[in-house]
Structure 1
Amino acid sequence: MKLVKSLFLGSVAGLAAVAGAQAADLPAKKAAAVEYVRVCSTYGAGFFYIPGTETCLRVGGRVRAEYRYVEPLSRAEDSIGFRARGRVQLDARTATAYGLLRTFVRLEITRNTGVYAGGGVASDAQAAQAFIQFGGLTAGRAPSFFVNQDLPTGNWGGVVGFYDFPDVNLLAYTFTFGNGFSASISLEDGEGTNVADAPYFSPAGERFPDVVANLKYAGTWGSAQLSGVVHQLRSVAITSGGVGVIPDTEYGWAISGQVGVNLPMLAAGDALFIAATYADGALSYLGLGTSASVGTVSAPVAEAYYNPANGEIETGSGWGVYAGLRHYWTPQLRSNIFGSYVNVEYDASGTLVGLPDFHAWTVGGNLIWSPVSGLDIGVEVLYHNIDRDPTLLVLGNDDDRWEGRLRIQRDF
């Protein structure tokens, strides 16, 4: 019996040894190499390398919930409104022998009701920003180069002339001189500007874009920018005395100085901005639309109009001053106070065709709490006033209006 047991155990051991030797002779299959996502610190926080490339990508976005109150004019008018806005954006950057190659895409959708929708009917809106930067070249849809995007405005609404949203298609080039100095020249679509069409002017087709130029300095203390633009004004044939008349082409222009100053001596993050703009025949660069309205008073805004007395295109002119201050009470609690004043004037012929002179101003302030990074919860209050001069023997009048808003916003 012992002999049988010994033979059995010996056979098992031999088989195991043979099997192990055969397994060792089989080719081993290697696991596929794992390519981990690498952090890209070259362009700031949030960027990472796209696997297999030298391109850095940042995925970001925003969700905003906003609730607004506007002093109503009548019982039939809404006084409140709701807004929900979502944004997704991609920022891809690659270092090349010719400089930075950057591609930026931002898609934004908005749902408005009440006072946001203008009449209480719910509305949806979409906005897109897409541009390519290659060295000093910028091509696509982006904010106008007329505006200094480094200004610490801090206001949520009501101050015309400053914004961070895309508003124009353009082709621009920026020359960098070093030590914080740069200059840009930009060809921008002028179709979005406003020209009077009531009753003596009908704009003709665009023959060349708005030409915008700026000279800018950005440093540790803040930034300063001097901007200018030339805008073409053309009219189709106008019937005057039974004869079609084509007035000569005119050119509008605007110039602006914009300065932002950091104030760390008050508190970390504190800053001040102030800007002044003058426009002649290019009133849209004051931040105005086709009309200025407060309460029951509305004044049309015309960059140009036809004067039947001399058969020429006349231009509207105006100027505006904008200022604001940001202060951090604590690292999580900050306030912004801000204001704007705009004055628009036409000559006597402008008054005769229904274009009264006017001035409008706004002051406001907000208080914003950021309990965690990227989350803002705050309230803002604004006061608007407009004063319009007499027109066609109708007494001039003025009106004012209050509004407030609550905003909850998450940026990532």
Structure 2
Amino acid sequence: MKLVKSLLLGSAAGIAAVAGAQAADLPSRKAAPVEYVRVCSAYGAGFFYIPGTDTCLRVGGRVRAEYTVGTRYGDLQDAYGMRARGRLNVDARTATAYGTLRTFFRYELTNNSGMYLNTTPAGNQGITFPGNIHSTSTSTSSLLDLAFVQFGPITAGRAQSFFDFYANDFGFSTLRTADSRLNLLAYTATFGSGFSATISVEDRTSGTGNRENGAFTRNFLGFGGAGASVLYEGQDFPDIVASLRVDQGWGSAQLSGALTQRKVSGLTLAGAAIAPIAFSSDEYGWAIQGGVKINLPMLAAGDHLFLQAAYADGALGYLGWSGNYGVGRTGPLILGDIGYDPATGSTKTSTGWSVVAGLRHFWTPQLRSELYGSYSEIKLGYNNPVANYAIGAVGRSLDPKEFIVAGNLIWSPVSGLDIGVEVLYTRVELRDRVGTAVNGVGIVRNGALGIKNDDAWAGRLRIQRDF
């Protein structure tokens, strides 16, 4: 009996061993390893590792709805406008032996209607101007606002100009200040304790925000009289910008300068006839700016004050001026960096200066106010292209002075959501009279109706979600 039992147990063990060996020879199915998305805390909130890489990525953006009402000067003009804007941000960063490698781009789509379609003068940095005629359509535009690579000290691509400091940092309005995103190549050296210096070559013709100005007539005789037209030629090199900056616990400060080339040539006009080129000149423009941002935690967490001043000679875009100026019934008028006097055969640059101030205060962590303003004066290098109102006289240089002030109240009930209202006032004063808009679409060029200054009011409601 014991012998039989031993034989049975041995047989079972042998069968089990054979079966196990055969099973081991069969192909097996193993679950693939799961690649979980990991949080990347090295660069702040919202970053995560791209699976399978050591690159951290953050995807964000903004949706803005905006509603504006403002002064109008005729029955055919709109007194309101609506805007919808969507923005997408993509930020990718990788730690390397040479420092952080960063790529960033921002793309925007904007749909405008009403007053936003008829803002004049063109390019005036979002300052609300009454439109010329009621619009029955809408307009959608796209914009590659930023797209750059940063590797150690190098910044290459489309980025904020290194000349800019305040750059309309408060979220609701725009002042007369340098604020451009453009194509550039820059090198930044850091010295410790928050100090840095940057040298940058920048293409102002590629900019959004403020645009550089061309060259225009200085002593143009209107109404068929003889005069000259100035042409803005190509540049041999891009603008050169340099800045010195410090960022510390008390705030920030920056001193920046820019040098730009202004090659111009001119045509002499005689009625409808155009004579050959009368002159060619290789001019240069420059600008300098200083600014300081002071943190005010003694008032409330997040409070700060901006102060900034700038001067430009032949480079008015660095003050935030575009190719036109004026507000309401005084605009749009031509604004140029360089003028030509056919009587003397000489060129003359336009000069100007500006000051900017802005204060942000948090009443509560969810409720804040911003009060800001700018004042600027321009000395034009040419006379008014339109003849003066005294018959036969040539218009003088209009030399505009502009004052902008705005204030808002913004409520943020939850993180990333702003609901606010703003009031904006703009005034322009000229050295001489210009024509005024009539109650319609025409412009009256008449001494009795001409005015030397005008202003405009605007109110805005904005609902904005950042994520």
> TM-score, normalising length from structure 2?
0.79
Counterpart check, 1:143 vs 2:172: no
Secondary structure at the aligned position of 1:202 is classed as strand
Partner residue of 1:277 out of 288, 310, 322: 310
Rate the CA distance shift 1:328–1:344 in 2: closer, same or farther, 3 A: same
2:253–2:291 CA contact under 8 A, matched in 1: yes
Which of residues 117, 127, 132 in structure 1 aligns to 2:143?
127
> Do residues 188 (structure 1) and 212 (structure 2) align?
no
Residue correspondence of structure 1 range 19-168 to structure 2 within 5 A: 25=24, 26=26, 28-118=28-118, 119=133, 120=135, 121-128=137-144, 129-148=146-165, 153-161=169-177, 163=179, 167-168=181-182
SS of residue matched to 2:265: coil
- Larger displacement relative to structure 2 (124-133 or 106-115): 124-133
Residues 147 and 24 of structure 1: is their aligned pair in 2 closer, same or farther, counting only changes over 3 Å?
same
Unaligned runs of 5+ in 2: 1-11, 119-132, 206-210, 221-228, 386-393, 435-445
**CA-to-partner distance for each residue in 1:107-139, whole Å, 9 max, x for gaps?**
100000001111534111111121111111111
Of 173, 185, 188, the residue aligned with 1:174 is: 188
The alignment status of 1:342 with 2:376, answered yes or no, reads yes
Specify the code of the residue in structure 1 equivalent to 2:430: R
SS in 2 for 1:397: strand
**1:173 positional shift:** 1.1
Query: Deviation of residue 293 (structure 1)?
Result: 2.2
Q: CA deviation at 1:312?
A: 2.5
Question: Which amino acid counterpart does residue 140 of structure 2 have in structure 1?
Answer: D
Q: 1:389 aligns with which of 428, 431, 456?
A: 431
Q: 1:102–1:132: 8 Å Cα contact kept in structure 2?
A: yes
1:324-356 deviation per Cα after TM superposition (whole angstroms, max 9, x unaligned): 100000000000000110100136767857641
Cα separation, 1, equivalents of 2:346 and 2:335: 19
- Say whether 1:400 aligns with 2:455: yes
Which range moved further: 320-329 or 166-175?
166-175
The offset of 1:65, in angstroms, is 0.4
- Give the match's secondary structure for 1:95: strand
* 2:340–2:382 Cα contact (<8 Å) kept: no
Counterpart residue identity of residue 182, structure 2 = V
Aligned-partner Cα distance in 2 for 1:105–1:38: 23
Partner Cα separation in structure 2 for residue 111 and residue 20 of structure 1: 76
User: Is 1:273–1:325's contact at 8 Å kept on the other side of the alignment?
Assistant: yes
| Structure with the larger RCO, 1 or 2 (CA within 8 Å, 6+ apart) | 2
Q: Which residue of 1 aligns with 2:252?
A: 223
Query: Residues 307 and 349 of structure 1 are in contact (CA less than 8 Å); yes or no, is this contact kept in structure 2?
Result: no
What residue in structure 2 maps to residue 263 of structure 1? 296
Matches within 5 A, 1:281-296: 281-296=314-329
Does the residue aligned with 2:368 lie in a helix, a strand or coil?
Answer: strand
Measure, in 1, the Cα distance between the counterparts of 2:234 and 2:170: 37
Instruction: Indicate the residue corresponding to 1:370 in structure 2.
Output: 412
The SS at the match of 1:196 is: coil
Provide the rounded CA distance (Å) in 2 between the counterparts of 1:66 and 1:109.
Answer: 14
SS of match in other structure, 1:117: helix
Give per-residue Cα distances to partners, 1:193-224, cap 9 Å, x unaligned. Answer: 11233453110112111111100001111110
When the two chains are superposed, the root-mean-square deviation of aligned CA atoms in Å is 2.5
Other-structure match for 2:230: 201
Question: Residues 20 and 310 (structure 1 numbering): CA distance in 2 closer, same or farther, change over 3 Å?
Answer: farther
**Structure 1 vs Structure 2: percent identity of aligned residues?**
52
Residues 83 and 294 of structure 1: is their aligned pair in 2 closer, same or farther, counting only changes over 3 Å?
same
Distance 1:19 1:84 in 2: 74
C-alpha displacement at 1:48, in angstroms? 0.8
The residue number in structure 2 matching 1:5 is none
Cα pair distance change 1:147/1:136, threshold 3 Å: same
Runs of 4+ residues over 6 Å off in structure 1 = 17-20
Unaligned runs of 5+ in 1: 1-13
| 2:139 partner letter | S
Q: 1:354 to 1:206 in 2, by over 3 A?
A: farther
1:400 CA displacement: 1.0
| Per-residue deviation, 1:243 | 5.5
Partner of 1:313: 347
Query: What is the deviation of 1:95?
Result: 1.3
TM-score, normalised by the number of residues in structure 1: 0.89
Q: Mean alpha-carbon deviation: is it higher for 123-132 or for 385-394?
A: 385-394
Alpha-carbon displacement from aligned partner over 1:63-122 (angstroms, at most 9, x marks no partner): 000001111111110011110000111101111122221111111000000011115341
In 1: Cα distance, 2:232 partner to 2:96 partner:
44
Alignment length (residue pairs): 395
Distance 2:361 2:404 in 1: 20
Are residue 330 (structure 1) and residue 357 (structure 2) matched?
no
